[in-house]
Structure 1
Amino acid sequence: MKNTFTLLVVCILCQVLGAQNYTAQIQEFDTYASKSMATWQMPGMALAIVKDGKVIFKKGYGVTQIGTKKTVDTQTIFSCASTTKAMTATCMAMLVDEGEVSWDDPVIKYLPEFHLYDPYVTRELKIRDLFTHNSGVGNADFLWTIMNISSEEVLRKMQGVEPSYSLRSSFIYQNIFYLAAGKVIEKVSGQKWEDFIKARVFKPLGMNRTFPTLISSKDLNHSQPHYRVNGTIKSIIPDTADQIGPAGSVRSCIDDMCKWVTCMLDSSKYAGGRLLKPATWEELFRPQVIVPADEFYPTMQIIKPNWTTYGLGWFQHDYKGKKINYHTGSLAGEIAIHAQLPEAKLGFYFFGNFDHAELRHALVYKTFDLFALGGTRDWSAEFLTLYQGIQAKNEKAEADFEAKRMANTTPSKPLAEYTGTYYNSLYGEAEVVLDGNKLVINLNNYLKATLSHWHYDTFRGGYEKDWYGKATASFQLNASGKIEKLSYEGMEFTRPN
């Protein structure tokens, strides 16, 4: 009896001392996060750390919108962006558990209308392939970023996207196959993806401030995205990923994401049970494909992992001999990251409202160092130097491009002859109108830019959404001397005679 009492006292003391020991790390982390946020000029962010099944730290920093006093708190809504992918993979895994679908079923079994450019790939594409970015189809985000079409039309247009490599032979990050996965979930479950994820993930976990789409997340306590335009950080219009919802449209707050992080660390367990069978949960994190170095984040130039893989909705690599699972999320002016160090039962989630501020990566490794692996490297400073170098290279490339402009040239034709509507079956239509001595190009009545003459038959200017940067358009004459083709940001359009 005495030994039992002594053991109980020791256990309680260990728990208390453990909590006290974290106090120093938390204080150090909080100070580091605040300092680094100022260095990266981040307007606002929210983050959380989960250790051994408990939320040991969560906090909001800064403001929801620059120029205001609206502070970020743990209830502020941000974009989860592509960290949504792990949620969609979990939804599919539930249907696998129920025997409704198999990872290796052909996609056309459920979506017979979904056709790709190569009939062989259409026939051989498996459910698993929808999650692993190795279908052979390259980035096709233009299908939802330059036109306002339905999700069904996005999938229909995929038949016109030529492959970049053969099936399962490489890796190119691909959003639209997650949309296809969402459609499979709908077909099998009889529910819209939005309703399925709410009923099967958000509700069981008590994620009451988590929304499947932008349009469903109207809330006063909502962060605004920010972008650096011409050297100045400004608030911009929120972008939407609702067209490809299963790939990146979920929006949430850090309080709710604590519940998701905790669940995903602990084999999908939650207070009321578990989302997945243990073996199915393990399958989500099993390396599925090797990711080439040039398809990984620039931060890996400093981390220097020995291997890089992708699971089902998760990037993976080694760090100090341990396996890391993580995924970033990025929309214009909004960022997120979800990272796990499973062996230490340590998880991290981050929201930010400034475009591609890679402070998110720095805080991941700072978390792993402080709360598990040890180390004192200033990841924020190292990553900032890295990205400043990348920015300098980009600025030099832009300057080099501008330097190639030929002076004292004129267009081949009067400006009015460049106007009209140009078509492409894949990219849609580009309407060109004259505005004074400038050409305005309206792409699919969705994305507009105003261009001045640059040289010869090339025009260049800014987008209406100025954070998109500059656009370049070149026109081509046919044998009769009439303007026939438009090359616009790598897309080719033809004007009918």
Structure 2
Amino acid sequence: MRLDRNLCHLSIWAFVLMALWSPAVSADPITPERLTVALSKLEALAQGAVADGAVPGLAIAAVHDDDVIFLKGFGHREVGKPETVDADTVFQIASLSKPVSATVVAALVSDHVVSWDSKIADLDPAFRLADPYPTSQLTIRDLFAHRSGLPGTAGDDLEDIGYDRATILHRLRFVPPSSSFRAGYSYSNFGLTEGAVAAAMPTGKSWEEVADEKLYRPLGMASTSSRHEDFINHADRAALHVRVDGVWTAKIKRDPDAQAPGGGVSSNARDLAQWVRLLLGDGVYAGKPLIAADALDQTHVPLMTRGKNPVSGGESFYGLGWNVEFGRHGLSWGHAGAFSVGARTVVTLFPKEKLGIVVLTNAFPTGVPEGLSSSFADLVFDGSVEKDWIAAWDAIYAGLFGPAVEAAKAAYAKPSSPARPAAPASAYAGHYANDFIGDAVVSGAGDGLVLKLGPSGARSYSLAHFDGDRFVTFPDAETPDRPAGVSFVVGPDGKASAMTIDFLDDNHLGTLQRTGN
């Protein structure tokens, strides 16, 4: 969700909200007996979700008062294979990486390596935004709160065509802002990634090493990593699943190393339960202070408004790598994660009650993680589930791609009548480039063209003629039936002078000029 609105004085109002909010109070206290009943029903709901085919597999960890009160896996790591999910099965947790990374930075703040208000210009002088003033003032806090002005998709497109982290972060300087600096919320994977990478720079170590040193090893999170290679090396790991003709299929692999702080963590329920213990303990783990409470508390200050939760209706804000929500059960901290190629995760914490739950699944789209988390909260606070939360969240995620896919299909259902012919392949063939996308090569291939993009032409796309100087391709692995256009501007000399790639044009940077002959 992207909201661009004037947020003047928002932080003041956020503190007022926290002070004045009267959280929902359960009719009865959260007793051990109520937790026992809630956990029994949660287990039944999880078993039912797998049995009904809502997801191939999932794992859950729940914590209360510094105790891990539930830890279990359900279903299978990969459809069609016998290996089952257990508490040690490693999942790619996608954007659940963001609050994990916020905890790592909080540890650096606690150790006085950086502050949340350290300027990126001091930490990483080579980094640039499009405009000089935001570049000079940008802080770690700005990037973790998604208020830098970077559009939400900035850099994701470059990752899709194979560029590495350093190249992507360098090229963010060419992206025009979607809002004024600190005036709009725009969820950015690579903005947060830059904030984390810059925070680690004073240590002289890589982000991945710092995450190990400051969080994973101290908590004994032996199966957790910010390196994709480590995930692949785990025998007990969950595959990614998408629906193909209505059937879950392990079809696509995803290497998220480029955005490791924002989406590249892999972990299991057992390890994440230890992380939740640390958070609910205000930085104390197993009786030992690991992160200063004030450094960690900053991550949960509601800085940017996100509007209302689309299912529960609760008022939602963004802190530093965390959603901060005032809902039907009072204050909660949370974050979801998703890879459209097959992962869905969620964490929800109720800090006042020292209660937390993590749900990891190996499929997309599905509302199972939020559905189970919401159902568990209802059971703990109220003793019964208000409604079918899985179905409610399923409806949200099912609608993410459907309308856009159908609109794209309609746009390319048929060309103009009569259809305009294409020029000879030689009119389009050649080299093209711009500062953001880099180099592209178009060549003839049979009755169509081939477009190569990315470092050394890492990605290849077949272009079929559609109408005139417009061609069509199917670039998205997660929505393979969604067409996208590639159009050329052909001059009087019979050669294309420019090309616009629609699937790289979200930020109006998809037009490349011909270079050479």
**Pair in the same fold by TM > 0.5:** yes
Match of 1:422 among 432, 446, 466: 432
CA contact (8 A) 1:213 1:250 kept: yes
Q: What are the Cα deviations for residues 244-283 of structure 1, in whole angstroms up to 9, with x where unaligned?
A: 2221211111111111112111212212612211222222
Query: 1:118 offset after TM fit, Å?
Result: 0.2
State the distance in 2 between where 1:223 and 1:95 align.
31
Match of 2:327 among 319, 330, 336: 319
Query: 1:87 offset after TM fit, Å?
Result: 2.3
5+ residue gaps, structure 1, are: 1-16, 294-299
1:493 equivalenced with 2:503 (yes/no):
no
Match of 1:171 among 185, 201, 226: 185
Q: 1:172 to 1:390 in 2, by over 3 A?
A: closer
Q: Equivalent residue for 1:103?
A: 116
Q: Equivalent residue for 2:206?
A: 192
Counterpart AA for 2:319: G
Q: Equivalent residue for 1:209?
A: 223
Q: 1:492 to 1:231 in 2, by over 3 A?
A: farther
**Equivalent position SS for 2:89:** coil
State the distance in 2 between where 1:442 and 1:466 align.
20
1:457 equivalenced with 2:469 (yes/no):
yes
Q: Equivalent residue for 1:47?
A: 60
State the distance in 2 between where 1:319 and 1:142 align.
31
Query: 1:340 offset after TM fit, Å?
Result: 0.9
Q: Equivalent residue for 2:6?
A: none
State the distance in 2 between where 1:442 and 1:227 align.
26
1:362 equivalenced with 2:371 (yes/no):
yes
Q: 1:416 to 1:253 in 2, by over 3 A?
A: same
In terms of fraction of residues, the more helix-rich structure is 1
Counterpart AA for 2:284: K
Q: Equivalent residue for 1:114?
A: 127
Q: 1:423 to 1:339 in 2, by over 3 A?
A: same
Q: Equivalent residue for 1:446?
A: 458
Q: Equivalent residue for 2:173?
A: 159
Question: Which range moves more in the overlay, 441-450 or 189-198?
Answer: 441-450
Counterpart AA for 2:390: S
**Equivalent position SS for 1:204:** coil
Counterpart AA for 1:252: S
CA contact (8 A) 2:469 2:490 kept: no
Counterpart AA for 1:381: A
**Equivalent position SS for 2:326:** strand
Counterpart AA for 1:333: G
TM-score between both structures, scaled by the size of structure 1: 0.89
Give the share of equivalent positions with the same residue, in percent. 28
Counterpart AA for 1:329: G
- How many pairs does the alignment contain? 474
State the distance in 2 between where 1:464 and 1:382 align.
26
* Pairs within 5 Å for 1:43-442: 43-139=56-152, 140-142=154-156, 144-217=158-231, 218-271=233-286, 273-292=288-307, 300-305=309-314, 307-320=315-328, 322-331=330-339, 332-376=341-385, 377-388=387-398, 393-394=403-404, 396-403=406-413, 405-442=415-452
State the distance in 2 between where 1:272 and 1:198 align.
21
Q: What are the Cα deviations for residues 70-124 of structure 1, in whole angstroms up to 9, with x where unaligned?
A: 2111111111222222222222222222333222232111111111110001111
Q: 1:406 to 1:38 in 2, by over 3 A?
A: farther
Match of 1:27 among 40, 50, 57: 40
TM-score between both structures, scaled by the size of structure 2: 0.86
Q: 1:374 to 1:349 in 2, by over 3 A?
A: same
Query: 1:461 offset after TM fit, Å?
Result: 2.9
Query: 1:135 offset after TM fit, Å?
Result: 0.6
Q: What are the Cα deviations for residues 207-252 of structure 1, in whole angstroms up to 9, with x where unaligned?
A: 1111121112311111111122454432123212211222121111
CA contact (8 A) 2:408 2:483 kept: no
**Equivalent position SS for 1:429:** strand
Q: Equivalent residue for 1:478?
A: 491
Q: 1:390 to 1:130 in 2, by over 3 A?
A: closer
Query: 1:471 offset after TM fit, Å?
Result: 3.1
CA contact (8 A) 1:451 1:471 kept: no
Q: Equivalent residue for 1:3?
A: none
Counterpart AA for 1:288: L
Q: Segments of 4+ in structure 1 off by > 6 A?
A: none
State the distance in 1 between where 2:378 and 2:412 align.
44
Query: 1:337 offset after TM fit, Å?
Result: 1.1
Q: 1:452 to 1:167 in 2, by over 3 A?
A: same
**Equivalent position SS for 1:215:** helix
Counterpart AA for 1:458: R
State the distance in 1 between where 2:108 and 2:476 align.
43
CA contact (8 A) 1:105 1:126 kept: yes
Counterpart AA for 2:254: D
5+ residue gaps, structure 2, are: 1-29
Q: 1:291 to 1:381 in 2, by over 3 A?
A: closer
State the distance in 1 between where 2:418 and 2:80 align.
43
Query: 1:363 offset after TM fit, Å?
Result: 1.3
State the distance in 2 between where 1:95 and 1:69 align.
42
CA contact (8 A) 1:448 1:464 kept: no
State the distance in 2 between where 1:238 and 1:34 align.
26
**Equivalent position SS for 1:134:** coil
